Structure 1
Amino acid sequence: MTVTATAAPTTAGTLYVYGIAPAGVRPPRAPGVDGAAVRLLAEAGLCAAVSDAPAQVRARRRDLMAHQSVLGELTAQGPVLPMQFAVLTPDSEALRGQLRTDQAHLMTQLESVRGCAEMNVKGTVVPGCFADLVHRDVTLRALARKTRNRPGYEANVRLGEALAKGVTREARRAAREVLACLAPLAVRTAQGPVDDEQVLSTSFLVRSADEPRFRQVLTDRARDVGDRLTLSVTGPLPCYSFVDASSAPAGR
């Protein structure tokens, strides 16, 4: 988990919101952010898990973990629309009003993630076998031969840059192969940010019944592309990447 330190001052009556679920779920037993008790506000067939907001909301590890623990208890009971860390609402009446107003949209969102979890897969570049890469790439082979024949600093730099680009290119090709295998096992996918080192960052909305198959295919692909791409998976997670941003309560 990557933690970004933030601080948000609050006012009296402000509520911290963890997520929205269908009415009838049990209140989470886990303490919430800053150790606060978590309760449920029910309205229009929905409920929001909330706690009193502390004077300042800071992205401390213990509070991030508390946020996740509350959502974990809720998702164990059924579909949940998880809020990101530090979502606040001015008071209970404002939140109840939003649940009433957005009831149809929120219900649709809940049904879209029912019986599913989020699996996040990342792939990072493996330096790779340069000899094999040069052997397979005609351009690199010619450049390597030219560098051997006329060695020098600039020639070495050009060869090094070309090799680095070749390794990244191979890793991206491997990432496309992995996506082609995993995407059919998911209900939906959501692309995350990538760069020259992390060439794969995708979240998959996976039915709980399909999770073992998803993991097995991922394991098989990790073995097949391991010389080019290091794969990792995080999950099951609350379905953060598959919740419409408009589901978040008004506030900040």
Structure 2
Amino acid sequence: MTVTATAAPTTAGTLYVYGIAPAGVLPPRTPGVDGAAVRLLTEEGLCAAVSDAPAQVRARRRDLTAHQAVLGELTAQGPVLPMQFAVLTPAAEDLRAQLRNDRAHLTAQLDSVRDCVEMNVKGIVVPGCFADLVGRDENLRALARQTRHHPGYEANVRLGEALAKAVTREARRAAREVLACLAPLAVRTAQGPVDDEQVLSTSFLVRSADESRFRQALTARARDVGDRLALSVTGPLPCYSFVDARSTTAGR
């Protein structure tokens, strides 16, 4: 399978690939990318959901939505190895060959996400209560006293920078608390990119039966850390973050 950049031109016979599932699932009735009909290629107990690729693959909202809708129909039936948007294969036989050659690996991957969903949790820094921070941090108290006694632009900048770092530090501590609470409710976790503003970005592989309990725990933690960290959750999602790279890049 080859992963192409969005807006890349395609050639005749190129197939757009949505995901891989066990054989026996019903083909999605939802139209795929560019309105194309989705069909299943079956080989060795596995099947790949595909459609004819458009002349160019662009990351348009309607096509991104169609991609997700096709995966939604598949995941409603059982485990799926979801492909990211714009995964193409040059010919049906190439894809059939991959299903044959990688059958054991792909089957193991499907088993690993069976009856599971992905929940993505993000946490954004909340500007904290400066008085509370200063009250609990001796270094900040000393810097605040210096600024009061010797006010000026540079002193204000130093105090502002120190407060900003303290707010971020508190948010990161809150993020660790959230992870410590949620990780035991998940089968696996996958860390996403973070920075000084978004200090938490983690995907959780959660058993479908535990989704409600996971949401309840997240809601409780959101209340506890809300003065430091604004939490959001996206899901349930296809298990994008828990698919081994081999299943999406073979044949590149």
Q: What TM-score does the superposition give when structure 2 sets the normalisation length?
A: 0.97
Equivalent residue, structure 2, for 1:201? 201
Deviation of 1:6 after TM superposition, in Å, equals 3.0
Equivalent residue, structure 1, for 2:234? 234
The residue correspondences of 1:5-24 to structure 2 (distance < 5 A) are: 6-24=6-24
CA–CA separation in structure 1 for the residues paired with 2:189 and 2:216: 18
Equivalent residue, structure 2, for 1:61? 61
Q: Percent identity?
A: 87
Q: Deviations over 1:44-69 (max 9, x none)?
A: 00000000000000000000000000
Equivalent residue, structure 2, for 1:211? 211
CA–CA separation in structure 2 for the residues paired with 1:179 and 1:85: 28
CA–CA separation in structure 1 for the residues paired with 2:69 and 2:212: 23
- SS of residue in 1 equivalent to 2:78: coil
1:246 is the counterpart of 2:236? no
- SS of residue in 1 equivalent to 2:86: coil
Q: What TM-score does the superposition give when structure 1 sets the normalisation length?
A: 0.97
Equivalent residue, structure 2, for 1:93? 93
- SS of residue in 2 equivalent to 1:59: coil
Deviation of 1:249 after TM superposition, in Å, equals 5.5
Deviation of 1:201 after TM superposition, in Å, equals 0.1
Equivalent residue, structure 1, for 2:129? 129
Say if 1:31 and 1:37, in contact at 8 Å, map to a contact too. yes
Say if 1:88 and 1:251, in contact at 8 Å, map to a contact too. no
CA–CA separation in structure 2 for the residues paired with 1:88 and 1:250: 11
CA–CA separation in structure 2 for the residues paired with 1:165 and 1:20: 45
Structure 2 residue identity aligned to 1:202:
T
Deviation of 1:250 after TM superposition, in Å, equals 4.4
What is the total number of aligned residue pairs between the two structures? 248
- SS of residue in 1 equivalent to 2:85: coil
Equivalent residue, structure 2, for 1:43? 43
Equivalent residue, structure 2, for 1:181? 181
Tell me the C-alpha RMSD between the 2 structures: 1.0
- SS of residue in 2 equivalent to 1:140: helix
CA–CA separation in structure 1 for the residues paired with 2:67 and 2:18: 7
Distance 1:148 1:249, change over 3 A: closer
CA–CA separation in structure 2 for the residues paired with 1:59 and 1:210: 33
Structure 2: which 5+ residue stretches go unaligned? none
CA–CA separation in structure 1 for the residues paired with 2:149 and 2:120: 47
Equivalent residue, structure 1, for 2:158? 158
Deviation of 1:128 after TM superposition, in Å, equals 1.0
CA–CA separation in structure 2 for the residues paired with 1:94 and 1:216: 45
Say if 1:89 and 1:249, in contact at 8 Å, map to a contact too. no
Say if 2:6 and 2:86, in contact at 8 Å, map to a contact too. no
- SS of residue in 2 equivalent to 1:248: helix
1:74 is the counterpart of 2:74? yes
